[in-house]
Structure 1
Amino acid sequence: MMAKIEVALFMVLFLNFSLFSQEELDDYVIEYRAIARGMSRRVVVKHKIFVYHATRNHKTADSLEIKNEQRAKLVELLEGLPLKGMPYLKPPSDKRLADGAPHAKLKISLKKRTYESPGFDHGNPPEEIKDLVEFVLNIAESVVQKE
């Protein structure tokens, strides 16, 4: 009898934990911006929607629904990020400081907190966020290629 109670208690706790963590992961926003003279790119990923802006005033946008595989990969990449250390990441290059590359930033809102990277060269993010940035930009490329 005691074993059944323990198993039932474990199942209830496990299921509640899983639902709670899934609810938290559904509440994320990833925003990538790249800006230079005459050029502006903004990518926003929120839950299951991906929005790509390619003009300076952001009046026009393309969007698509994220596939389950893409969403799973995004969640996996988010889980591996050093969110609290994002403001202290060191960019690998500084071409943006002399107009040699667009100025880029990554901002992540998760669990009602916002984490933002320092500026870095578009196309050359800090190593710690590189996989996420490249994945988001690859999704953006797929949106542009559909046009």
Structure 2
Amino acid sequence: MKLLFTIILSVFLAKGCSEYKDLEKVKMVYDANSRGYHKTIIIENKTFFVTNSRDEKPHEIKLSDAEWKSIADLFNKVDLSTYNQLEGPTQERFYDGKAPANLTITKGEVVYATKGFDHTIPPTQIKGLVDTILKLSEKK
């Protein structure tokens, strides 16, 4: 009985860890740009590279394991098969009400991109992920 429990537990833990390792092979880029606003966040392997103005060099933010786990949990909820059809719920970007934004995900050789949305108002399917990315990008 102990052997069976150990095998089941090992398989369960290995599967849980592999989900976070898969995210290490993913690159996400959040980009919001308008005439007077610029923000680019590149997320790769537990690190954010944040640029807040066009002539600024990106500054690096290392994420804790808990922060990376929260990003991974939210990323795993994203349906990449319909990701390219996601469009923002508002259109303030069309009349300079908000900066146009996009979250691009590169997984292996495949690139997924939304159709665009207003900065801070993403499609509901990725709202949690975008909100967390924006919050973590404000860390110093």
Q: TM-score, normalised by structure 1?
A: 0.80
Q: Is the 8 A contact 1:38 1:56 kept in 2?
A: no
SS at match of 1:142: coil
SS at match of 1:107: strand
Correspondence for 2:137 among 131, 140, 144: 140
Q: Which residue of 2 aligns with 1:65?
A: 62
Correspondence for 2:110 among 93, 108, 113: 113
Amino acid at match of 1:24: D
Aligned mates of 2:19, 2:136 — CA distance in 1:
25
Larger Rg: 1
Q: Which residue of 2 aligns with 1:78?
A: 75
What pairs up with 1:5-84 in 2 under 5 angstroms?
14=11, 18=15, 21-57=19-55, 59-84=56-81
Q: Is the 8 A contact 2:83 2:113 kept in 1?
A: yes
Aligned mates of 1:48, 1:37 — CA distance in 2:
31
Amino acid at match of 2:134: L
Alpha-carbon distance change, 70 to 99 in structure 1, aligned in 2, over 3 angstroms? same
Amino acid at match of 1:26: E
Paired residues, number: 138
Aligned mates of 1:118, 1:101 — CA distance in 2:
15
**Matching of residue 104 in structure 1 with residue 104 in structure 2:** no
In the alignment, structure 2 segments of 5+ residues that lack a partner are none
Aligned mates of 1:75, 1:120 — CA distance in 2:
22
Identical-pair percentage: 23
Alpha-carbon distance change, 142 to 20 in structure 1, aligned in 2, over 3 angstroms? closer
Correspondence for 1:131 among 111, 122, 128: 128
Q: Is the 8 A contact 2:100 2:116 kept in 1?
A: yes
More helix as a share of residues: 1
Q: Is the 8 A contact 1:24 1:110 kept in 2?
A: no
Aligned mates of 1:106, 1:43 — CA distance in 2:
9
In the alignment, structure 1 segments of 5+ residues that lack a partner are none
Q: Which moved more, 1:92-101 or 1:107-116?
A: 107-116
